Amino acid sequence: MFDVKRLIMLRDLAEHGKVAVVAELHQVTPSAVSQQLRALEAEAGAELVYREGRGVRLTAAGRALAAECEHVLAALERAEGAVRALDGDLSGELGIGCAPSALSSVAAPLLAELAVRHPRLRPRIVQAEPENAVLLLKQRRLDVAISYRYHLLGAPVPDGTSAIGLFDDPLAVVVPDELREAVHRDGLAALRDLAWVSAPEPSTCREVLLHACRNAGFTPRIEHDCEDLRSALSIVATGLAATVLPDLLCSGPPPGAAVLPLPGKGRVIEALVRTGAQEQPAIAAVLTALTSTQRARIGAD
């Protein structure tokens, strides 16, 4: 019988490729990770890892076992859900990660809804961009992640997670007000000589901006980096820059900034859970509340 914690270490090694990274994820020493992997090899009766100098590489047996790990973990999540369903008591703390751009429109209404529906639940909101949220989810430090994926970039749902779509968030180009008519007439090409503002690298928002401008025939000159993308609206309002942002970030632009729809698909806002965990009653309650509040919000719009 395989030790589950050792299986998770093997899965993480397959994903990240370095023992040091796995050690950091599990908050142990690299030698402890190596020891656990050797113990897993003894359980499997097969060599799972090649040791090449200071590096490692999974064998065919290691890759096969790592691939099966997600199925094992999903089955364990469903088993936990079956047990918790017999309890009938929706209480306790739940970690809910949320992308910064969805805090006010998704996380805040969710908290209010859960307080009414399930007052014994104690939801804890953690601001986290998608990549970090998925990591925390797999480490069981979060139970649900409110995340997003851009259609344009074609990223799949992360391995080991299941996604529940909430709504589509279109893209907008934000331009100095005096350039509104030029953009209506010529599209993004009217902005080829302007400076641009976006998130620092690496960033999917920045990738989407680059992709949109290159489709319009030019590479944008990104002069301004902003972690808080709503602040980009104020920079655009100076008349000296433009940006591409999700619509959720464009409400209430300052005077001097015009928000115009950008043709094509934007991003999907979704809830991520560990595969199988959606059957756990408390997590299912959060997902039900999420879909309910977002249906109400879209209906109100």
Is residue 274 within 8 A of residue 138, CB to CB? The reply is yes
Considering only the top CATH level, what class is 171-264? alpha beta
In eight-state DSSP terms, residue 262 is: P
Domain ranges (residues) in the chain: 4-83, 88-169+268-300, 171-264
Is residue 117 within 8 A of residue 147, CB to CB? The reply is no
**φ, ψ for residue 280 (rounded to 5)?**
-75, 130
User: Could you report the per-residue pLDDT of 36-95, keeping only the tens digit for each?
Assistant: 998 988 988 888 988 776 678 899 999 899 888 888 888 888 888 788 777 767 888 999
**φ, ψ for residue 139 (rounded to 5)?**
-80, 0
What is 88-169+268-300's CATH number?
3.40.190.10
Confidence of residue 112 (pLDDT cuts 50, 70, 90): very high
What is 4-83's CATH number?
1.10.10.10
CA 170 to chain centre: 17
Averaged over 217-232, what is the pLDDT?
93
Domains 4-83 and 171-264 share a fold: no
Is pLDDT above 70 for 233?
Answer: yes
